[in-house]
């Protein structure tokens, strides 16, 4: 009969997944696990919102905004070139 190692079944490894700690043991492990999984859920939700929202991307550059303002007629050509030079 083998003791330990892979031949002993799942009994040896079941302590990793037992209790509310999930990888961690005791009350502190429970708190750490809650924080970890809370962070994972928060990041997944944030990722989905970024990918599927109709809002402008936060990656819009200042030059893109300047081009849009010029295209809408909010600034004239002289202001556009002056601001572009300042941003450049």
Question: Do both 42 and 7 map to the same domain?
Answer: yes
- What's the pLDDT score for residue 55? 56
In the structure encoding, which two tokens stand for residue 63, read together?
């030059």
Record the pTM.
0.38
Question: Do both 45 and 17 map to the same domain?
Answer: yes
- What's the pLDDT score for residue 70? 92
SS3 74: coil
Determine the Cα angle at 26 with ends 20 and 28, to 5°.
Answer: 100
Question: In which domain, by residue range, is 70 found?
Answer: 56-88
d(C-alpha 64, C-alpha 55), whole Å: 15
- What's the pLDDT score for residue 60? 66
- What's the pLDDT score for residue 61? 79
Q: What is the pLDDT along the chain (88 residues), one digit of tens a residue?
A: 455 555 555 444 445 445 544 555 677 888 888 899 999 999 999 998 888 875 555 556 788 888 999 999 999 999 999 988 887 7
Question: Do both 34 and 8 map to the same domain?
Answer: yes
- What's the pLDDT score for residue 13? 47
d(C-alpha 53, C-alpha 43), whole Å: 15
Total domains present in the chain: 2
């Amino acid at each position: 009969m083998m003791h330990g190692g892979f031949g002993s079944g799942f009994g040896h490894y079941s302590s990793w997944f037992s209790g509310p700690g999930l990888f961690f043991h005791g009350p502190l492990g429970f708190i750490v696990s809650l924080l970890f999984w809370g962070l994972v859920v928060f990041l997944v939700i944030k990722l989905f919102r970024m990918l599927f929202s109709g809002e402008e991307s936060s990656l819009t550059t200042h030059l893109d905004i300047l081009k849009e303002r010029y295209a809408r007629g909010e600034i004239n050509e002289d202001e556009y070139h002056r601001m572009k030079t300042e941003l450049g």
